[in-house]
Amino acid sequence: MCNHDSFMNQAVELSALALTNPTGGPFGAIIVKNGEVIGKGNNSVSTNNDPTAHAEVMAIRDACKNLNTFQLDDCILYTSCEPCPMCFGAIYWSRLSKVYYACTKKDASDTGFDDDFIYRELNLEHTKRKIPMIALDKEKAIEIFQKWKEKQDKIDY
Amino acid sequence: MCNHDSFMNQAVELSALALTNPTGGPFGAIIVKNGEVIGKGNNSVSTNNDPTAHAEVMAIRDACKNLNTFQLDDCILYTSCEPCPMCFGAIYWSRLSKVYYACTKKDASDTGFDDDFIYRELNLEHTKRKIPMIALDKEKAIEIFQKWKEKQDKIDY
């Protein structure tokens, strides 16, 4: 069995926990660095009361905790399903180098999850979205951004 | 001062913590239900070693913990900046009813954050993305989805 298959199998085994020991939906993910698994996650939305506890997010948080960092350069994610927009964002913010996935967002949709719908919503005008997003006055907020730009001793991420 | 201004001011005050007591970037968010603040968050990426610890995600986790739920129906998010794709996804998964924001994703980009870039990446073909996303065989993973569909005693989210 090649490494890809072996790593993906581990992610899929984590997804299968939803059938026997459910903490959320049937999704699993692992993170690999230099051929070693450094983070694992399975969907834990319902037991953690955390709608952000998707498998990829859980694996990213686990890997970051294990490596004591908030950036996962040179790390690869294996996930049992194509990431939803939330996990897509988390992958970019954590600076993973590559993602391998098994099921697609269409498969997730067919199984009752909103992934594909959320992808479509992203491209709608703000006020036409199912959850409307409305701009308010930004005068005070943008002052903070300006002060942040001028700040010397900041940690970038 | 109208309610909107008062709630947005609270979100912006949380964003300003990044200048005086930094835990991450200059972003703040609150969640309101029936006129009452039920969750708060400010970006805590660097101190938490958690790249998913954006203000909106922190506020959603806080509100869910306080209400002992993973769904925030009839709740409104006030955020000092337009949500990035990760937070956008988190907003949909948590079923918030509405979002008010101050700064835009373009303002975030101009301040050194990748929000706008990640929005553009979402619409690229998978292999053309800066972080390539590659499909592997899904035979085993889709079996789990199939079994999930047939499962009777599951918690939907």
B89: tokens are 């996804």
Average pLDDT (A122-142) is 95
Counting one residue from chain A and one from chain B, the pairs whose CB atoms sit within 8 A come to 289
Residue B1 has pLDDT above 70, yes or no: no
- Mean pLDDT, chain A, integer: 95
Sorting pLDDT into bands at 50, 70 and 90, what band is B41? very high
For an interface test with A, give the residue of B42, B88, B109 to mutate (most A CBs within 10 A): B88
- Mean pLDDT, chain B, integer: 95
Average pLDDT (B81-96) is 97
For residues A78 and A30, is the Cβ–Cβ distance under 8 A?
yes
pLDDT digits (tens, 9 = 90+) for A45-104: 999 999 999 999 999 999 999 999 999 999 999 999 999 999 999 999 999 999 999 999
pLDDT digits (tens, 9 = 90+) for A19-44: 999 999 999 999 999 999 999 999 99
* Alpha carbon distance, N-terminus to C-terminus of chain B: 37
Sorting pLDDT into bands at 50, 70 and 90, what band is A134? very high
Give just the sign of the alpha carbon dihedral A100, A105, A109, A115.
positive
- Identify the residue whose tokens are 């306080």: B66
Strands A98-103 and A75-81: parallel
For residues B41 and B28, is the Cβ–Cβ distance under 8 A?
yes
Would you mind telling me the total number of residues written for chain B in this entry?
157
- Identify the residue whose tokens are 């619409």: B123
CB proximity under 8 Å: A 6-35 to B: 8-9, 11-12, 15-16, 18-19, 22, 24-26
**What predicted TM-score, i.e. pTM, was given to this entire model?**
0.96
Give just the sign of the alpha carbon dihedral A111, B138, A30, A73.
negative
